[in-house]
């Protein structure tokens, strides 16, 4: 749980809600990476599948590390947001590559 | 409480400096809400990418394969753009919060609308052609 200054008895449960939003986002990102990997595998594009799988793994490690570090210092969410954002961009690029490769039989 | 120097408990310098170097510390609830908004945008981008990837599967056995692939590429592009928009929007909003300025409008909204509308229109057309073609 992330410690946030002055929100100990917050009736809106903001820190918990933020943490749950992080969990949902991580779940969605990993599922998205799995979808890209499985789809690429099914279409016999092993390179794209491998990159997607590795991206999912790297994202998990990076962001879980970020979220753990939050407990110890009060740095903002920027690095974690950046990491997840880059992961979404990578997945978008891989999906676009799948689509464009499909255009050229 | 805005006239005190930054307390040492906040650890190292917070990044990005362009956000945390200006203004004063806002209510933590506002910052957390801004963070959740950015995460919601990221999930929206992920959903668009997932839809595009699913479309490429449909394109492998559909008659209008190239068209579907084109829409899939557009959906993935829109998803990636939304991820960029989420990060940019977080920075702009956090700055505005710290400076006490009015919040910027969500600039990524038109991208989302165009992306979803394009996918919906093409898929609806595809369904009609499949049914009557």
pLDDT in tens, chain A (105 residues): 555 665 666 666 778 888 889 989 988 998 999 999 999 999 998 888 888 888 878 887 888 887 776 655 667 888 889 989 999 999 999 999 999 998 887
User: Does residue B45 or residue B108 have the better pLDDT?
Assistant: B45
- Distances, alpha carbon A18 to alpha carbons A49, A66, B71, B74, in Å: 31, 14, 33, 31
Residue B16: asked if its preceding bond is cis (omega within 30°), the reply is yes
pLDDT for position A25: 92
Query: Which among A21, A75, A102 has the least Cβ separation from residue B14?
Result: A75
Alpha-carbon dihedral sign for residues A47, A61, B95, A16: positive
Considering only residues 107 to 126 of chain B, which have any Cβ-Cβ distance to chain A shorter than 8 Å? none
Contact across the interface for A99 and B69, Cβ inside 8 Å: yes
pLDDT for position A7: 60
- To the nearest whole Å, the CA of A80 is away from the closest chain B CA by 10
Q: Tokens 């409008």 identify what position?
A: B105
- Chain B CB within 8 Å of residue A17 CB: yes
Query: Which among B15, B53, B77 has the least Cβ separation from residue A35?
Result: B53
pLDDT for position B21: 86
Which range, A91-100, B13-22, B62-71, has the best average confidence (pLDDT)? Answer: A91-100
Contact A25, B43 (CB under 8 A): yes
What is the pTM (predicted TM-score) of this model?
Answer: 0.84
């Amino acid at each position: 749980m992330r410690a946030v200054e002055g929100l100990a008895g917050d009736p809106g449960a903001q820190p918990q809600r933020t943490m749950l939003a992080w969990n949902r986002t991580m779940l969605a990102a990993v599922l998205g990476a799995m979808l890209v990997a499985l789809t690429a595998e099914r279409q016999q594009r092993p390179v794209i599948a491998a990159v997607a799988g590795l991206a999912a793994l790297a994202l998990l490690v990076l962001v879980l590390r970020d979220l753990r570090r939050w407990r110890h210092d009060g740095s903002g969410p920027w690095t974690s947001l950046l990491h997840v954002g880059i992961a979404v961009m990578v997945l978008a690029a891989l999906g676009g590559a799948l689509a464009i490769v499909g255009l050229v039989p | 409480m805005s006239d005190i120097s930054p307390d040492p408990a906040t650890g190292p310098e917070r990044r990005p400096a362009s956000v945390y170097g200006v203004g004063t510390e806002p209510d933590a609830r506002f910052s957390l809400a801004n963070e959740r908004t950015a995460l919601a945008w990221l999930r929206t981008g992920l959903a668009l990418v997932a839809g595009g990837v699913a479309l490429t599967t449909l394109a492998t056995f559909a008659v209008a394969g190239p068209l579907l692939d084109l829409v899939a590429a557009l959906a993935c592009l829109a998803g990636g753009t939304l991820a960029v928009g989420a990060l940019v929007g977080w920075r702009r909003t956090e700055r505005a919060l710290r400076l006490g300025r009015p919040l910027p409008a969500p600039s990524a909204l038109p991208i989302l609308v165009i992306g979803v509308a394009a996918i919906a229109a093409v898929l609806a057309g595809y369904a009609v052609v499949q049914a009557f073609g």
